[in-house]
Structure 1
Amino acid sequence: MDDDRDVLASAARVRRGKGELKASVLAALGQAPGPVSAGWVRQHVDPALAHTTVATTLTRLEAASAVVRCRLGGTVVWSAVTDGAGLAAWRMRRVLEGESDRRAVLRCFVARLSPDEERWLRTRFTREEGARPGGRPAPHHG
């Protein structure tokens, strides 16, 4: 009985927050020497993870266009296309696209930013205004 409690307690300690495993996988891929296998990712993220957990995470990241999969010889290898910030931006965009009044959502979002975050955001838009047709700021990757 005590062994069962130890296992459950151990599992609770390693439980990750939402998106944490994806972010860890992206970070590992970002540090990889090139395209790498799911096994390589597992060893660099957490060797205790099941191979299927890593493979599922990579497949979900591929569906989000955050990683690409290809074959190198007989092995499936993976490469990062974006970083954690890019993945978060993709998620935010997906949520926004599901709303009927996007401007209201954006207003609420900005209203909940800290003063420093709001100032930074306003500065970015002011500095880049006119950088693209229609006054939309150019995408920034960094």
Structure 2
Amino acid sequence: MDAATPVVVRQGRRRPSGALEGEVLAALQRAGIPLTPREVQATLPGELTYSTVVTILSRLHGKEVLTRTPRGRAYAYAPLTDEAGLAARRMHKILDGRTDREVVLTRFADGLDEADAALLRQLLSDGLPRPR
């Protein structure tokens, strides 16, 4: 390529990392029932290929975010829990991987704003409610 040849920079429609997983998970949560990859594909905007949807669903299943049950020649996928439950699972996973749990929990609690710290104190003193 010589100096006169223009360089074309493509502005791809690529989503940020994890955005597709978030969109797929949100679609499944909105549905409220298990969906096959084809059904998930139909609910999403844009032109995602079937294989892309299957890959995303498989990754989410591998991360233990989704359950899957056979339905015909495919699987039907459903979230294991709601968004709050997923956030809690991520927090547990991080904490479980640490040997210095006390330090991690102390720094976490120290970083809370006053309202969240008061809520946490209240939850711990009242006994944690069990999610429904």
Distance 2:18 2:118 in 1: 27
* SS class of match (2:70): strand
TM-score (norm 1): 0.72
* Percent of matched pairs sharing the same residue: 31
1:22/1:123 Cα in 2 relative to 1: closer, same or farther (>3 Å)? farther
Higher Rg of the two aligned structures: 2
Matched residue, 2:72: 73
Aligned 1:39-118 pairs, distance under 5 A: 39-118=38-117
* SS class of match (1:123): helix
Distance 2:118 2:20 in 1: 31
State the shift of 1:88 in Å. 2.0
Matched residue, 2:15: 15
2:29 partner letter? G
2:15 partner letter? R
State the shift of 1:61 in Å. 2.0
Matched residue, 2:37: 38
1:50/1:115 Cα in 2 relative to 1: closer, same or farther (>3 Å)? farther
RMSD of equivalent CA atoms: 2.6
Note the residue ranges of structure 1 that are not aligned, 5 or more in a row.
129-136
Query: Which structure is higher in helix share?
Result: 1
1:53/1:125 Cα in 2 relative to 1: closer, same or farther (>3 Å)? farther
4+ runs deviating over 6 angstroms: none
Task: Count residues with an aligned counterpart.
Answer: 128
Residue 140, structure 1, aligned to residue 123, structure 2: no
Note the residue ranges of structure 2 that are not aligned, 5 or more in a row.
none
* SS class of match (2:25): helix
* SS class of match (1:78): strand
TM-score (norm 2): 0.77
